[in-house]
Amino acid sequence: MTDTRDELETSVAATGPPPLLRFVAAKVGGGVVSLFLVAVLGFFLFRVLPGDPARTMTRSTPVSAEQLAALRHRFGLDQPLYLQFRDFVLDLLHGDLGTSYIYNRPVAELVLERVGPTVLLVGTATVLAVLVGLWMGTRAAWHQGGPVDRWFTSVGLTLWSVPTFWLGLLALMAFGVGVGPLPGLFPVAGMSSADVPAGVVPHVLDVAHHLVLPCLTLVAVIYAQFMMVMRTSLLEEMGADYLTTARAKGLREDLVRRRHAVPNALLPTVTLIFLHLGLVVAGAITVETVFSWPGLGLLTYEALRVPDLPLLQGTFIVLAGSVIVMNVLAELVYRFLDPRVRDS
């Protein structure tokens, strides 16, 4: 009887979904639940912000108490909080993020318009930061304790600890406005100039010119994370037996590093790239605000000044969603890349 029951349990387990599918479903399901909880948290969090949207939007125009009441009724601010929350959840389940107070347009349209500039800024900065961080981390580990290691580590950690907005202001004053007799080299605001000649190439060059300062500011702040992880991972690999075997076969140190040590040390860095990408998107708010880069960060700052509650909730969901999505992707990628986790 016991053998029959064990065979039945084994057959049921064999007919169930494969472990990989269960793992993916669990991570994706957890991400969806986390995103919903973040949206709910954002709703109540922004309701405690000081300020009256109706008064802020009419501060330059004399209005009566009746007009203010009509404006609050139009935005639904005169309803009890539980009714506002009910409407918010129902709209969210239908994919409706609401209508912006200050733009009088659907929040989804505004977010879609601003996603492109943010992806351009964050994507370019992340690629450059990864390349610089991996290169410097490899050199620092291979020259552990030497001048190269101390210099790279000191500069990287110093820039990592500097507030992003402060570094952006310094770059803006030094390379945008200019210092003393030295003129500014780059634009100080926006994504493009109004007097750019017609054509694709002039437009691309103009956008690239505007991109330099905000991109380099982000790179200077975030590259140290990739450098330190790569340095630590490579130092752990350098004492492995397979590197001693490779050297015993007569391989040069450069080949030992590039063909054996570096590929095995990349695994934690690849995971960090996905984890950090979502955080960079959310952290671009200060850079976009300093350089008036027309992305999601600047849109969030504009919404905070009112406060524009639907716009704040929409940008908060998108920014938090990017972090959650990248966390899920990081776990999936790590499982596929590491055979110890994949085979478990």
Judged against a pLDDT cut of 60, whether residue 343 lies above it is answered with: no
Judged against a pLDDT cut of 80, whether residue 157 lies above it is answered with: yes
36 and 152 together in one domain: no
Judged against a pLDDT cut of 70, whether residue 191 lies above it is answered with: yes
244 or 25: which leads in pLDDT: 25
Is 12 a domain residue? no
26 and 153 together in one domain: no
pLDDT digits (tens, 9 = 90+) for 70-84: 878 887 878 888 888
pLDDT band at residue 128 using 50, 70 and 90 as cut-offs: very high
197 phi/psi in degrees, rounded to 5: -60, 155
214 and 337 together in one domain: yes
Of the candidate ranges 33-42, 96-105, 189-198, the one whose mean pLDDT is the lowest: 189-198
Whole-angstrom Cα distance, residue 76 to residue 88?
A: 11
| End residue of a domain, out of 52, 71, 100 | 100
Of the candidate ranges 190-194, 227-231, 293-297, the one whose mean pLDDT is the lowest: 190-194
236 and 263 together in one domain: yes
| End residue of a domain, out of 100, 128, 159 | 100
CATH number at residue 324: 1.10.3720.10
pLDDT band at residue 132 using 50, 70 and 90 as cut-offs: very high
Provide the domain limits for residue 265.
Answer: 108-341
41 and 176 together in one domain: no
Is 75 a domain residue? yes
- Domain count within the chain: 2
311 and 194 together in one domain: yes
| End residue of a domain, out of 80, 100, 120 | 100
Which pLDDT score, from 0 to 100, does residue 12 have? 45
Using the CB atoms, write b or e for 176-215: b if 16+ within 10 Å: beeeeeeeeebbbeebeeeeeeeeeeeeeebbeebbbbbb
Is 208 a domain residue? yes
CB-count burial class (<10 Å; 0-12, 13-18, 19+) for 93:
exposed
Which pLDDT score, from 0 to 100, does residue 214 have? 92
Is 77 a domain residue? yes
pLDDT digits (tens, 9 = 90+) for 255-280: 777 776 777 777 777 777 777 777 67
63 and 147 together in one domain: no
136 and 263 together in one domain: yes
119 and 82 together in one domain: no
Is 14 a domain residue? no
172 and 54 together in one domain: no
pLDDT digits (tens, 9 = 90+) for 6-38: 554 454 444 556 777 887 788 888 888 888 888
Is 219 a domain residue? yes
Residue 286 is encoded by which pair of tokens? 């200060």
238 or 175: which leads in pLDDT: 175
pLDDT band at residue 337 using 50, 70 and 90 as cut-offs: low
Is 68 a domain residue? yes
Which pLDDT score, from 0 to 100, does residue 338 have? 61
SS (H, E, C) the chain: CHHHHHHHHHHHHHHCCCHHHHHHHHHHHHHHHHHHHHHHHHHHHHHCCCCCHHHHHCCCCCCCHHHHHHHHHHHCCCCCHHHHHHHHHHHHHCCCCCECCCCCCEHHHHHHHHHHHHHHHHHHHHHHHHHHHHHHHHHHHHCCCCHHHHHHHHHHHHHHHCCHHHHHHHHHHHHHHEECCEECCCCCCCCCCCCCCCCHHHHHHHHHHHHHHHHHHHHHHHHHHHHHHHHHHHHHHCCCHHHHHHHHCCCCHHHHHHHHHHHHHHHHHHHHHHHHHHHHHHHHHHHHHHCCCCCHHHHHHHHHCCCCHHHHHHHHHHHHHHHHHHHHHHHHHHHHHCHHHHCC
Closest CA to 107 of 318, 310, 320, 316: 310
Averaged confidence pLDDT in the chain: 80
53 and 78 together in one domain: yes
244 and 337 together in one domain: yes
pLDDT digits (tens, 9 = 90+) for 305-323: 888 888 888 888 888 888 8
Which pLDDT score, from 0 to 100, does residue 10 have? 52
pLDDT band at residue 151 using 50, 70 and 90 as cut-offs: very high
pTM surpassing 0.85?
no
Is 39 a domain residue? yes
- Going by their DSSP bridges, the two strands 182-183 and 178-179 should be labelled as antiparallel
Whole-angstrom Cα distance, residue 42 to residue 46?
A: 6
